[in-house]
Amino acid sequence: MMRNLRILCLFVACSLGFSSALAQTKSGSHSTRKPPSMSAEAKALVEEAIGVACTHAKLDPQSSLAIDEMQARPSLPVHSPEARAGAERAQRLLPLAKTLVAKSLRQLATDYGLHKSPRFTVKMNQAIGRINAVRRVRPDMESRDNASVFLSRPRVITFGTLFLAGLRSDEGMISVLAHELMHIADGDNDSLRSLVAAVGNKASDLTGLDVHGQRGEEITCDLVGAMAARAYVAGTPGYESIARRLARSIQHNCVEIDEGDEDHLSPRNTIRALLALNPALVRELINNREEQR
């Protein structure tokens, strides 16, 4: 069935087929946008935090490469040292990422007032069961800078080798693993759709961007990714600055070529929406910025 063939992709490359159609509709879409409900001050803080994350991208030897930079590189064989190191990192962090995603999902359910619904609680428990069933990261050269889940094989996360190599830190890797685990949690029946819709609506409302439908799911996955990475940073104190470590969970979006598609906001709008939804992350990025070096 088509449904079973559905592929959930993290990044734009798998939807490039849409880009020419999108280019035609983009100019008309501005008229449907609503003004953002976020205050000018909050918006300025979000932009400042983006600046911090993307500055660290240039200074930090373990920063995550931007997606457009990954896209520009030649495909990387599965057995290259960088791809192998990335695959080992991903497989090692998978159990921890599963735990952090389950916690983040429960937190989000509380934040969005869904935790008291018995129906949602049943769905949440099933979603966490699907997360717990995930066993393996499969490195794939053809997937290049994408990670995806084939819902016909929900125990495996397929990870492009360029992407495995481009996420050079545990924080970056946890954020992307968590993104994919959130797709698995939602499953092929969109069981967490009430949460996804609530997050998408809030993101649309705050930013004035269109974050409905599949874009709502993608931003929820990104939010879960950032929350999981933030919990990891909080739980593993080290010598590096907190801002530098947090930046790694979002800076793959620090692109020069900023293109979205029907299913995804553009990478820079993704960070915008993500930070608008997560003011605590904004504060931590900004408050630690003096530690940049």
Binding site for Zn ion (CB under 5 A): 10, 218, 221
Question: Who contacts 67 (Cβ-Cβ below 8 Å, separation ≥6)?
Answer: 11, 12, 13, 145, 252, 253, 255, 267
Q: What is the distance between the terminal CA atoms of the chain, rounded to a whole angstrom?
A: 52
Measured from the CB atom, the residue of 49 and 157 that comes closer to Zn ion is 157
Please, which residue, 50 or 149, has the CB nearer to Zn ion?
Answer: 149
> What is the C-alpha separation between 140 and 105, in angstroms, rounded?
28
Secondary structure class of 158 (helix, strand, coil): strand
Tokens of 11: 């990044």
Q: Between 187 and 279, whose beta carbon lies closer to Zn ion?
A: 187
Taking the C-alpha atoms of residue 289 and residue 49, their distance in angstroms, rounded to an integer, is: 9
Least Å distance, CB 230 to Zn ion, is 19
In the complex with Zn ion, the residue whose CB is nearer, 52 or 164, is 164
CB 127 within 8 A of CB 41: no
Q: Retrieve residue 226's tokens.
A: 């950032």
8 Å CB contact between 114 and 183: no
With vertex at residue 99, the alpha carbon angle to CA 98 and CA 102, rounded to the nearest 5 degrees, is 85
Cβ 8 to Zn ion shortest distance, Å: 5
For Zn ion, give the closer residue by CB, 245 or 264: 264
DSSP state of 135: -
94 membership: H or E segment, kind and range: helix 81-111
Which residue's CB is nearer to Zn ion, number 52 or number 271? 271
Query: Least distance in Å: CB of 183 to Zn ion?
Result: 6
Q: Residue 68 or residue 218: which is nearer to Zn ion going by CB?
A: 218
User: Amino acid letter at 150?
Assistant: F
Q: Tell me if 7 sits within 8 A of 14, measured CB to CB.
A: yes
CA atoms of 100 and 228, how far apart (whole Å): 5
CA separation for the pair 129, 183 (Å, rounded): 13
Report whether 167 contacts 176 (CB < 8 A).
yes
Cβ proximity to Zn ion: between 50 and 224 the closer is: 224
Residue closest to Zn ion, measured at CB: 10
